[in-house]
Structure 1
């Protein structure tokens, strides 16, 4: 009998997107091929504590508590590789060696390179982009500057800092003079549309700034783009491929957190998007170029605007997109011919391949 691959699903985290991560983890656990993979669920509380979740292995419905009152099994990550990657600080049962981890974490402390760096230090293969790709994909300011240098068009923007130092932030009238109206105010390091506001006047601007600064010390203010919102999934390491694109049609001002995860009546998802073959090719090419320009591996979802003239303008990249029941990334691959279970298998395989390639590099002369 072939030995199963031991996969850890790492979820939760210290982020405003904690609940989205829990939903994604539930779906991945249900979809993963249990004949090929032994699965261990590792939850991260909102305070950052790593705990084992063995309830699901015992058949108990998955319901991770954000901050368990009395966690029985607290984990510590061990650097340096080897068999003891995770130590169980309170429980008696050891943690078997992991062959691969799927860090289905969204936002800071999970999608921004922090967990990726910790897993690299522990010698554990993982799904998704490495430290650099994760970090630049998370920071919208850095991401947009790299895209600009790669000649990939994206919306004009300005950066505001909570602690600006000697040079003050531009004010409302200066911003409007440079970017026009409406504008979007976004925390630089967050996803799932958390903290984002559409601004059409000075009163809305002040409220938007106050709201966004609750989530980050750095904001971007971005000019609005007139165009259709198109999303494209990318999969692969050295030779990535792009999915058939899908479209988000908003019934509200923009694709908000509620529209993504709470009230699906606020938006209409069309998969595949109704595009000409030429437009599909343009979106797919732009998605792959964005993926490579931002040093990604494994997976990402690239969101673009398609103008009435069919010009593709990059909105952003999501290096660990949601895997909830209504998330675009798995749905795009399903319509492109890859089932949910096969998609999870490919992602885990890509992560192990990337680790093996890195391990083959020399570390001394």
Structure 2
């Protein structure tokens, strides 16, 4: 089979969020494992200012191995994905042109890179994981991996996520929300809205991931600075009461056709004593010895079954598709308190989501293949 007859997959990564470098590392992992005998892979990076540009599909360029945070930078070329949905035909044409009109004239116009059959978005955070990109792809009738518009938006916003889970009957921990207008109007009143919470507190950007901008606060004197830190990443802030309990994660994978979601063996993260106060960015991506995954978690079989049922129910509660990782606290009195759902969880070979699937019997390359096949199988538009 020639490459021209293979399904063409557009790997899209980088982006405008604070998780730009994490997205690049995710792309490095997928590029190293995707089966190029099955798929014709095209890589497009998005710079921090939002420019789409064709880039080399070389894993080494986008990894942390160099010791520096990888970044997509402008290279004089701009990639364009056609938004004109062809009648009775899915997919879109990818073209590339020079970034300036004069250079474009010298090149002789835009160059077609061919038709794209499916997009694999590897974008973490706002402007990629939050439904904005998904809406654009829906308008183009373009198949893509992962959750749709509504589920992506709910899964990105820790406030609306909690509202949705509470409405679905999940046990949700105590929290408060500070919006941008509330903070600008009267910071003291905004801080007072968290007065019912018991310390320690975790102050988080409402729409960020990879533990960016999160601060553990052990006393009231540190709360204002923590909110200011979170606001560097998102003007909307969520303040969560710390939950006493074990942190248990479960991976979810959409079922084929009308089948129910599939789940991994649940895993437990243990952060090394003394190195990190919680599972922060350094522990996730930089300090390889900072955290260990136990999968399956050391729990009674009945509890392992229960959390898998809850993870699948959370996936369905927000209408997720493709993949998600659902995080819970298992409390000393036997309650399962839902923490969050990630519709695009960490996806490097060493991330918890692929590791849990590996322990459950699905390898990283096979997981990538399954996600692409799910995207090709699923219709775009209302569903």
Q: 2:73 aligns with which of 68, 71, 82?
A: 68
Superposed CA deviations along residues 147-200 of structure 1, whole A, max 9, x for unmatched, are: 011111111111112222778764545523x11111111110001110111111
Query: For the residues of structure 2 that align with 1:292 and 1:225, how far apart are their CA atoms?
Result: 24
Superposed CA deviations along residues 122-162 of structure 1, whole A, max 9, x for unmatched, are: 22100000000000000000000010111111111111122
- The structural deviation recorded for 1:9 is 0.6
Query: For the residues of structure 2 that align with 1:213 and 1:133, how far apart are their CA atoms?
Result: 24
1:162-241 matches, cutoff 5 A:
162-164=180-182, 170-172=189-191, 175-176=194-195, 178-237=196-255, 238=258, 239-241=260-262
Q: Match of 1:265, SS? A: coil
Q: Match of 1:74, SS? A: strand
Q: 1:16 aligns with which of 12, 15, 18?
A: 18
| Count of aligned pairs between the two proteins | 354
1:1-365 matches, cutoff 5 A:
1=1, 3-54=5-56, 56=58, 61-63=60-62, 66-71=71-76, 73-82=77-86, 84-90=92-98, 93-164=111-182, 170-172=189-191, 175-176=194-195, 178-237=196-255, 238=258, 239-250=260-271, 251=273, 252-355=276-379, 358=381
CA RMSD of aligned residues (A): 2.1
Query: For the residues of structure 1 that align with 2:328 and 2:341, how far apart are their CA atoms?
Result: 9
- The structural deviation recorded for 1:66 is 2.7
Runs (5+) with no aligned partner, structure 2: 64-69, 99-106
1:186 and 1:220 in contact (8 A); partners too: yes
Query: For the residues of structure 1 that align with 2:224 and 2:41, how far apart are their CA atoms?
Result: 47
Q: TM-score, normalised by structure 1?
A: 0.91
Q: Match of 1:143, SS? A: helix
- The structural deviation recorded for 1:35 is 1.2
1:186 and 1:196 in contact (8 A); partners too: yes
1:183 and 1:223 in contact (8 A); partners too: yes
1:20 and 1:324 in contact (8 A); partners too: no
Query: CA, structure 1 residues 296+93, in 2 after alignment: closer, same or farther (shift >3 Å)?
Result: same
Superposed CA deviations along residues 85-118 of structure 1, whole A, max 9, x for unmatched, are: 3331227642211111110110011100111111
- The structural deviation recorded for 1:207 is 1.3
Q: TM-score, normalised by structure 2?
A: 0.87
